[in-house]
Structure 1
């Protein structure tokens, strides 16, 4: 009886450990940990190397990524009208013993049309000496407008891209391991938008989820009546002479027309450069002077005394 109770207690303890194991594992999962800003959003550990592979960040979300010094790093985030986004970047540099000089990093913001947007505040470029351990960068975008003139480069609602790169670094320091922390913060909203007589119907580029595949139903939505009408090709206007200058007839018309024009040009050129026969005008020549009358030659007179 005592052995039976001991076995039952051991089985109950083992069952309790099994029930507590998933809870402990889920609590230790890094994907569910809150961000350093205290927003409760998971910290991302990925980064893109081009505009097409940029990692999407939500407003208030952080990203901690181990990177290779010298690579181009890309993130994307959505921005709505009235908002003023701010991107904060902290670069943890490699060990000073491994570096061979100062490093210059820069952060840039681009809109959905790959147009570089200017920063209104924050150190966009920063240079870290060889002894420095971290480098702080930030860029505050202009307030997102609900519309803009076609010739302007104002920031419009849609997706924006963050590009972090090194602009000046010793050649021997390329490829060293670094760590980058990115935080996207926004202030304001639709209530702060001040449209100036217009509104943007759709965002410039809708927010995208890099690497995700859309469902089949969502990827092929049913076309609306307006879209069907806009996609219908307009009927081409025809005339009685349309068939004469279309298809294989076009070559013959151009050949005959070219021959006639060449013949006319030859006749016109000959007429302008040569005078017609029988109508040549000669310059007036004066009449020859009359030849005076000449008598017989005079014989020389001979004297009688000879």
Structure 2
């Protein structure tokens, strides 16, 4: 009986050490979201596209800059993987107030790889600036990207995401005035809290057949638009939920063995001293 309890206690301590060690490894090796303030100026692209098809590729953690005219539609595209909650920040520096004729309203929108507009969880997506203001800053915090979703749902999925920045209201006399823009994308890793059981076979990365065919009979090779994460797309099978699932199974098995040992010990008949 005592030997069984010693073995059980050692097994419990070993399982607890394995769980705490794995948890510490995950905690000591986080995936911090890049800080846009830490990016050197000019580290990202210095131009923007004017349509979805010509969107400029942008990696998370980079700061993109571009000069444009008031009224232009500016597009960037960045990759977002499962478990990431992306935050898009945009800043528009306006021309001198003496050249403007009134207030203006600017807006940043985000679309997924299927060009579905994604709602912002929170942030200042639309900003109205007075005629004498020098700049406007916008923010859009997206929902956490899911590894899989129902076909009818509008959930964000792994793949390319488009940022569109434009003015939505201003005096017509101010159209064409020069502005300078900055766009940065960061993300926070939400891990197992947002994990699901299914995965996409391929991320939602649009492509166009812009490559010249090798011959008249050959079709044009598809060219992917946008980029993929620097460390590649996640395989989708490993999440930190595995730690809790395995740990819960181990602890449940140990609890069953411990309960069995207690009931088995109580069921033994007491020994009668010899010679009585």
**Given the two structures, how large is their TM-score scaled by the length of structure 1?**
0.55
Name the structure 2 match of 1:197.
Answer: 197
**Structure 2: distance between partners of 1:57 and 1:193:** 27
**Local SS of the residue matching 1:97:** helix
Q: Give me the whole-angstrom Cα distance separating, in 2, the residues matched to 1:186 and 1:213.
A: 33
How far did residue 204 of structure 1 move?
A: 1.6
Residues 233-268 of structure 1: CA deviation (Å, up to 9, x unaligned) = xxxxxxxxxxxxxxxxxxxxxxxxxxxxxxxxxxxx
Q: CA deviation at 1:144?
A: 0.2
Asked whether the equivalents of residues 39 and 63 of structure 2 are also in contact (C-alpha less than 8 Å), the reply is no
Higher strand share: 2
CA deviation digits over 1:117-148, x for unaligned, max 9? 00011100000000100101010110000011
1:242-281 mapped onto 2 (5 Å cutoff): none
Q: Which runs of structure 2 are paired with 1:136-215 in the superposition (5 Å)?
A: 136-188=137-189, 191-192=191-192, 194-205=194-205
The equivalent of 1:78 in structure 2 is 79
Larger Rg: 1
Residue aligning to 1:259: none
In structure 2, the partner of 1:16 is none
Q: Tell me, which stretches of 5 or more residues in structure 1 are unaligned?
A: 1-34, 221-306
Indicate the larger mover: 191-200 or 149-158. 191-200
Corresponding residue for 2:134? 133
Q: Distance in 2 between matches of 1:162 and 1:145?
A: 19
Aligned Cα root-mean-square deviation (Å): 2.6
Return the TM-score normalized by structure 2: 0.60
Note the C-alpha offset of 1:213: 6.6
Equivalent in the alignment of 2:89: 88
Judging changes above 3 Å, is the alpha-carbon distance between structure 1 residues 213 and 180 closer, same or farther for their aligned structure 2 residues?
farther
Q: Which residue of structure 1 aligns with residue 99 of structure 2?
A: 98
How many residues end up aligned between the 2 structures? 181
Residues 224-235 of structure 1: pairs in structure 2 closer than 5 A: none
* CA shift for structure 1 position 64: 1.3
Report deviation, 1:36. 6.4
Pairs within 5 Å for 1:34-113:
37-39=37-39, 42-113=43-114
Cα distance, 1:88 vs structure 2: 0.4
Structure-2 residue corresponding to 1:22: none
Separation in structure 2 between the aligned mates of residue 179 and residue 52 of structure 1, nearest angstrom: 22
CA contact (8 A) 2:124 2:140 kept: yes
Q: Give the distance between the partners of 1:36 and 1:140, measured in 2 at CA.
A: 15
Distance 2:202 2:104 in 1: 41
Per-residue deviation at 1:193?
6.2
**What is the 5 A alignment of 1:277-288?**
none
CA contact (8 A) 1:123 1:139 kept: yes
CA deviation vs aligned residue, 1:70-97 (integer Å, no higher than 9, x gap):
0111000000000011110011011100
Residue 39 of structure 1 deviates from its aligned partner by 3.7
In structure 2, C-alpha distance between the alignment counterparts of 1:186 and 1:72, rounded to whole Å: 24
